[in-house]
Structure 1
C-alpha cells in the first residue's frame, strides 16, 4: 500500500547503521512492515527503537482482549482525528470483533450505543482520561474490578502510546492508501 508523508523519503543508501538496525528490528518483528509512525520515527533511530518495542507490547502483549485494545486505539484515532491510525486499525478492529455500529459512531465522534459492558468501560475510561486528564475513584475501581489492575495499567499505556502515534502521524501528515477517502475531515 502506498504511504506518503511530509518527511524526507528514506533512501537506503543514505541510512545510518542505527537506522538500518532499527529497520531490521521492525521488519523482523510482529508488524513486518515500516507502516504508520515508523516512517517518521526511523529518522530518529533511538526513538524508533524504543517506540517500536513499546508499541509491540501495547498492540500484542497486554492482558486485554484484542477487541478492547483495538477499541482503545480507534477511540484515540478518533479523538486525535488521525487519518492513518484509523486507516490502519479500523480493519483490525473489525476482524477482532468490534461491531460496525461502534466503529461508525467512533469515526463520527459520537458515543457508541454499546451492547457490551467491557467496551463501554474502555470508552468511558478513555473519554475521562482524554477529556479531563483524570479518572475518578469510582471509574478507576470499576475498571480494576472488570479488568484487573495490571490490565488497567496496560490500558493507560495503550492510550498514551497511541496518542503519541496519532500526534506523530498528524504532524508528519502520514497518509496510507492515498487513493481512498480520508476517514476524518481535514481542518
Structure 2
C-alpha cells in the first residue's frame, strides 16, 4: 500500500503547485498525473520538498531529453537499474518505450532478471556492460571504463545514479 497520498493540485501550497505545473507541462507531464490530478510515481514525492524535488526532476529531464545517449542506450540502462532494483514502476514506465525502440520480449526479460543478453550493436553492448557493472559493484574496472567515451560515461553514471535514487524513493514510499 502506498505510504504517500497523491495530493490533488488544488490542495498544494504555492511552491509545490508551481513544481506540479512545471512537471505536468513538460514532455513527461501527460504520463505523470493520475485520474484525480495527483502525480504518479516518483514525481509525487518530489512535491514534498520543491527546493530538492525541482532540481531532481530537472536532472531527470536532462538525462531523458538532452544527453547524447541514444534512446535505446538510455532505455537499456534504465531497465538495467529497474531490474537490479526490482522497481516495478520503472519497468512499467520504461518497458513500453523500449518496445517502441525495438527491444524484444526476450531482451526485456533478460533486463528484468539480469541474465545474459547479446546485442547486435557494439555501442549498446558497451552500455549494457557498464550499466550492469555500475549497479552490481558501484565502480568500473579499467576494461569497463575504457569501453565508452568520457562524456557518454559521465551521462551514463548520472543516469544510473538518478534512476537508482528514484527506485529507492519508489520503494520507501511504496509507489
CA distance in 1, matches of 2:45, 2:24: 15
**Match of residue 3 from structure 2:** 6
Residue 85 of structure 1: CA displacement? Answer: 0.7
**Match of residue 180 from structure 1:** none
**Match of residue 142 from structure 1:** 147
**Match of residue 181 from structure 1:** none
CA distance in 2, matches of 1:84, 1:101: 20
Residue 119 of structure 1: CA displacement? Answer: 2.1
**SS of residue paired to 1:142:** coil
**Match of residue 52 from structure 2:** 47
CA distance in 1, matches of 2:114, 2:143: 25
CA distance in 2, matches of 1:56, 1:67: 16
- 1:27 is aligned to 2:24: yes
Q: Which has the higher contact order (CA 8 A, sep 6+)?
A: 1
**Match of residue 130 from structure 2:** 125
Structure 2 residues without counterparts, runs of 5 or longer: 33-38
Q: TM-score by structure 2 length? A: 0.88
| CA displacement 1:93-151 (0-9 Å, x = unmatched) | 1112233321111113312232332222112111212222211122211212xxxx212
Q: TM-score by structure 1 length? A: 0.83
- 1:17 is aligned to 2:14: yes
What does 1:67-82 correspond to in 2, within 5 Å? 67-82=72-87
Please, what is the CA RMSD of the aligned residues? 1.6
CA distance in 2, matches of 1:21, 1:39: 13
Q: How many residues align?
A: 167
The structure with the largest helix share of the pair is 2
**Match of residue 42 from structure 2:** 37
CA distance in 2, matches of 1:18, 1:31: 20
